[in-house]
Structure formats: C-alpha cells, structure tokens
Structure 1
Amino acid sequence: MKYIVGVARIFVGILFIISGFVKLNDPLGFSYKLQEYFSEGVLGLEFLQPFALGLAVFLVVFELLLGVMLILGYAKKFTLWSLLLMIIFFTFLTFYSAYFNKVTDCGCFGDALPLTPWESFTKDVILLVLILLLFFQRKYYTPLFQPASSHKWIVFLTFTGCLCFAYYVLMHLPLIDFRAYKEGVKIEEGMQVPDGKIIPPIHDFGFYNQEGDSTDEILNEDKVLVVVAYNLSKSENQGWSAIKSAVEKAQKKGYRVVGLSASGPQEIQKIKDTYGYNFNFYFTDETAIKTIVRSNPGLMTLENGTIIQKEHWNDADDLNLN
C-alpha cells in the first residue's frame, strides 16, 4: 500500500502541475471558458462573469501549487482536503456538462489537449478515486525529503513564479501557442477537415462585410496586417493608441491593413473617428477572434494566408514589417 500511495501521489501531483501550467500559460483563454460555464444556458451564474479573469488566475495558480504541495508532502491536511473538494466540484461540473451537453470542451488542459465532456468526466473520476486513496491512506503520505521546513520556501517560490508568469502572458501573449492560429499556420489548410476528424481546426472564420465574403481575396494578398478586436466596446483604449504607429508603418510599406471584429458598424465608426483610422473592418465569429490573438486589440500579419507574426498591443513596436 505504501508504494501504491506513492505512485498515486506522484501521478496526481504531476497531472495537477501540468494541467495548471497549461492553463497558466493562457489564463485569458481559461477565463473565456469560465464565462461559458457561468452563462445563463449553463450554470446561470452571470454575476460571476466580470470576475472570470481573476478567478481563472486564482484557480490555475492554486491547482499548480496543490500539485507541488502534494509531491513535496507539505501541509498534508490542507493539501488533501483541498484536492478532494476541488476534484469533487470538477467531477460534478464535467458530469453536468457531459450529461446535459452544455460545454463541449471543459478546458482542463486548455488548447493543448481538447477533451470531450465524457472524456473530461472519466479523467475526473479516475482522479477522484486516486485522491480518495490518498485521503484515506494518508498515514503512508510522508514528506518527500528532509528538512520539511524547506518545503514552504519551495512553495513560496513556486507561488511567486506563477504570479510573475501569469502577469507576463497577460501583458504579452501566451508563451506557448497551442491554438489553431499559431504562427506558421496556413489558414486555408486549417479550414480543411483532417483525415479521421469531424471538425476542421479553423472554423467559423472569415472576412465578411456588407459587400459579402472577402476571405479568399484577403488570404491571397501578399502582405496583410490584421487588427484583431473581438469586441470594440470591451477593447482597451490604450491599445488603440499603442498600435497606431504600427498601422501607419504597415500602410507605408504596402501592407493591406484590415480590421477584424464581431462588433457592429456604430462601434467601428466610433473607433475610426476617435483614433483616426481609415482601414476597413470585417466581421467574423467572436469566439474565433478570441482564439486568434489573446489581446483586444491585437495584431496579426499574413502572407498569402499564412500567419507570420502575432503581437499583443503592448508589443506593437516589435512587429516585424518587411
């Protein structure tokens, strides 16, 4: 039993660390998933939606820390109770999502490993069994190494590192891009269904306006700068000022500059009038836009439909315009 508990402890700890890190790499993406859970059609907790980002950062940091604490054997009672309560809650949530078909991807591993609702529920049931084993056989759960007093400093450094990392990716972009719109992807190829799959990696995407569908036309341009903003009313005013020099530079270098948003004509005109922009905006699905760049607004350059570079508005000056 001692060895079984030891293996379970390491397995659960590593899984929590990996799951926490993948979501910590993209806390904004995880916050979108929480907003989906909080929506009227799922849990009906709309009052929590404005706090989704803060909750996302707290949950992923806590998840990662619990994995570290479990492996170290630090604060045994607190760690085991926290793990048990967390996995009970998420097992209920994934079962609810799967049974009632409410959320098609739990976001457990972010975009790195999409899971169906029933796959997520099965994963949580396995974790629940292992955590219950650890909980009821905690007499075999001892500190990983001595002195145990050093554990708190490891936990503190991990916590500090997590906060710094979260701040960095929120002020820039995810360090590792697991999404379908990563740099180097040819969008037209991503819109095709791969062998053995049902849904293409890139879907609900296009460049549309009152004149019709301009997707093929724009994807065949030699050089395009796309200003991406999923919702103009929620976009950051500082961001629109920060990207202006990059937009002007791109226009001088012969780039076709276009906007991509899910907002309506009035909001588009307001942005144009406020910041003096003269490029055309196109419409596409809001979820697709949120997936392209985790920045509102953000920048993306295309060459013949291939994604060359993406930047947060904080890094607009780093945009490489040939």
Structure 2
Amino acid sequence: MKYIVGLSRIIVGVLFIISGFIKLNDPVGFSFKLQEYFSAGVLDLPFFEPYALTISIFVVIFEVMLGVMLLTGFRVKFTVWSLLLMIVFFTFLTFYSAYFNKVTDCGCFGDAIKLTPWESFTKDIVLLVLIVVLFVGSKHIKSVFGPNTKRIVTVIALVLCGIYANYVLNHLPVIDFRPYKIGANIEQGMGVPEGAPKAIFEYAWKFKVDGEEKVFVTQGDYPTVDGEFIDVETTEIQKGYEPPIHDFTIEQEGEDFAATLLQKPKLIMVVAYDLRKSHMPVFEQIKQITDSAVKKGYKVIGMSASNDEQTQQLRQTYDLNFEFYFTDETTLKTIVRSNPGVLVLEKGTIKQKVHYNDLGDLEFN
C-alpha cells in the first residue's frame, strides 16, 4: 500500500501542477470556459458569469497549490480532502458535459491538449481512483522536508503563482498554445492537407416494407429497397480532419473579405470582441499608433462582434482612421486575450501581437 500511495501521490501531484499551470498561463481563456459552463444552456448559473475571471484565477492557483502541497507533504489531511472534493466536482462536470453534449471541450488542459468530453470524463475517473487511494492511505504520505521547509516551499509557490497570474492578466499568455500565435499563418491554418481523414457518416434509412417498418444502414448510398421511404437518421461515426483555424471571417455587409485582406503585405488588426467590455481609454493611443502606421503604408482594420452602431460611435468618439469588420466573438477571443488587442500581419502571417498595455512595443517598418 505504501508504494501504491507513493506512485499515486506523484502522478496526482504532477498532473495537478501541469493542469493548473497551463490554465494559469491563460486565466482569461479559462474564464471564457467557465462562462460557458455557467450559461443558461449548461448549468444555468448566470449570476456567476460576472465573477468568472476571479473564480478562474482562484481555481487554477488552488489547483497548482494542491499539487505542490501533495508532493511536499504539507497539510496532508486538508490537501487530500480538497483533492477529493475537487475531483468529485470535476468528474460530475465532465460527465454532465459528455452525456448531455453541452460543452465539447472541458478546458482541463487549456488549449495545450484538447480532450473530447468522454476523454475528459475518463481522465477524471482515473484521477478519482488515484485520489481515493491517497485518501484511504493518507497515513503513508510522508515528507522528506522539515515543517519549516514545507511552509517556505508552499509560500514561495503561492507567491510565484500570484506574480505569474498578475503578469499574464496585464499582458498576454507567456506560452501561446492557440493557432493564432506569433509566426502562424492564418490561411494555412484554415487549410485541409492532402490526404487528411474525412468524416464518415452512417445513414439509418427507415422504410415500410410489406406493412412493416424496417431499417437499412448504409454509409451514404440510397438503399435499393422495394418499399415506402419513411425517414433517415444520420450519425457521424468517425470525425474528419478539422483545421486548427475555422469560422474565421472578416465581414462587412455580409461579404467576407478575409481572403483579400490576408494577402496584404502590411496589415494591422485592432481586435475588440465586445466594445461594451473594452478598455476604452486605450483607443486614444490606438488612434496615434494607427495614424502613424497608415503613413508607413499599413492597411488598418478593426475587428469586432459588436454592431455597426457601436463601432461607428467608437470611430467618431476617437476619430479613428479605419473601418470595422464583423468577426465571430469566440474567434476574436481566441485570437488575442485582450480587449482591445493589436496584431501586425504580413500576408496572413502574424508577426506581432500585443495586449493593450504593451502597445508601445509595436514596431512598424
């Protein structure tokens, strides 16, 4: 039992630290995932949505700290109870998401590792078993560190988590796992490579044959049946290749200008997914920067999911010298974790991407 507990301790501790750190690297992204869980269509807890970012920061730091405390053997009883309660809640959440197909990605490992709902549930079941082992065999959780050393390590870990969280909130994630990272080409990210697997669908055709309903299953072909057609049900039995970048458009009046704009050798995107939530004072600096960029031959566009009335009012208020285009809100949130944020592109390749606190770091050739 001693060795089983020791192995379980290492696996759980390391996984909690890795999972927590990945989300700590992007707490804003995790808060978007929490908002999805809190929405009316999932858990129907809309009163938590305004506090999603605060909850996100607390949860990810707590997750990292539990991993550290488990490995150092600090406050074992509190740590094991916390791990058990947390994994029971996560297991319920992932089962709910998988069974009712509510949230297609739990966000357990942020954008670094994508898991299907059932994969997430399986992962939590394994962790639940390991944590139950720790709970039952908690007397075997010993530490090679003295009491003071354990406290110091825990405090240092907490302080580092706080510093790191503050940095990524006021800038951008240090490690960008998304398909819109610096150096990525958006057009290439939307493409499907030759020979990529295609989706396979199964069709259940229902016919009335000799007064009796019968079902004939094919993978696309209409069955040759001497009977009256009633209905058909389609089931995807194998997913096809999905490009890392999808649902990306740059629209005006229903027309998509993405293909044209992504060919520009000098393009600046001012991204503000929701102008009602944007940090408005920074648009004065954006005005100065974009005016300077236009003089150097850059094409500047705004990208938002807000309506025309809001974008026109913003342009008039700050005398902005560029037009706004419509892009899906989720896509804009994925592009940059800043509202607003600015990207510099060269023929579709992202060369620079900054938070509104770092606009001074932009360089225009």
For 1:105-120, what aligned pairs fall within 5 Å after superposition? 105-120=105-120
Is the counterpart of residue 161 in structure 1 residue 204 in structure 2? no
Report the alpha carbon displacement of residue 148 of structure 1 after superposing the two structures with TM.
Answer: 2.3
8 Å CA contact 2:38, 2:48 repeated in 1: yes
Is the counterpart of residue 213 in structure 1 residue 212 in structure 2? no
Report the alpha carbon displacement of residue 321 of structure 1 after superposing the two structures with TM.
Answer: 1.0
For 1:215-294, what aligned pairs fall within 5 Å after superposition? 215-294=258-337
C-alpha distance in 2, partners of 1:243/1:164? 28
Q: Which residue of 1 aligns with 2:347?
A: 304
C-alpha distance in 2, partners of 1:177/1:184? 11
C-alpha distance in 1, partners of 2:176/2:145? 38
8 Å CA contact 1:242, 1:313 repeated in 2: no
For 1:1-322, what aligned pairs fall within 5 Å after superposition? 1-143=1-143, 145-194=144-193, 195-196=196-197, 197-210=240-253, 212-322=255-365
C-alpha distance in 2, partners of 1:3/1:215? 57
8 Å CA contact 1:242, 1:314 repeated in 2: no
In the alignment, structure 1 segments of 5+ residues that lack a partner are none
Report the alpha carbon displacement of residue 273 of structure 1 after superposing the two structures with TM.
Answer: 1.2
C-alpha distance in 2, partners of 1:241/1:9? 52
Partner of 2:276, secondary structure, is helix
Report the alpha carbon displacement of residue 185 of structure 1 after superposing the two structures with TM.
Answer: 0.9
Q: Alpha-carbon deviations, 1:62-81, whole Å to 9, x = none?
A: 00000000000000110000
C-alpha distance in 2, partners of 1:248/1:82? 53
Report the alpha carbon displacement of residue 211 of structure 1 after superposing the two structures with TM.
Answer: 6.3
Q: Which amino acid aligns with 1:94?
A: T
Moved over 3 A (4+): none
Report the alpha carbon displacement of residue 206 of structure 1 after superposing the two structures with TM.
Answer: 1.2
Determine which structure has the larger helix proportion and give its number: 1
Aligned length: 321
8 Å CA contact 2:97, 2:117 repeated in 1: yes
1:211–1:39 CA distance, 2 compared to 1 (3 A): closer
In the alignment, structure 2 segments of 5+ residues that lack a partner are 198-239
Considering Cα pairs closer than 8 Å and 6+ residues apart, tell me whether 1 or 2 has the greater RCO. 1
8 Å CA contact 1:295, 1:312 repeated in 2: yes
TM-score for the superposition, normalised by structure 1: 0.98
TM-score for the superposition, normalised by structure 2: 0.86
C-alpha distance in 1, partners of 2:4/2:99? 32
Q: Which residue of 1 aligns with 2:229?
A: none
8 Å CA contact 1:300, 1:309 repeated in 2: yes
C-alpha distance in 1, partners of 2:48/2:161? 23
Determine which structure has the larger strand proportion and give its number: 2
Higher alpha-carbon Rg: 2
Q: Alpha-carbon deviations, 1:72-108, whole Å to 9, x = none?
A: 0000110000000000000000000000000000000
Amino-acid identity (%): 58
Superposed CA RMSD: 1.0
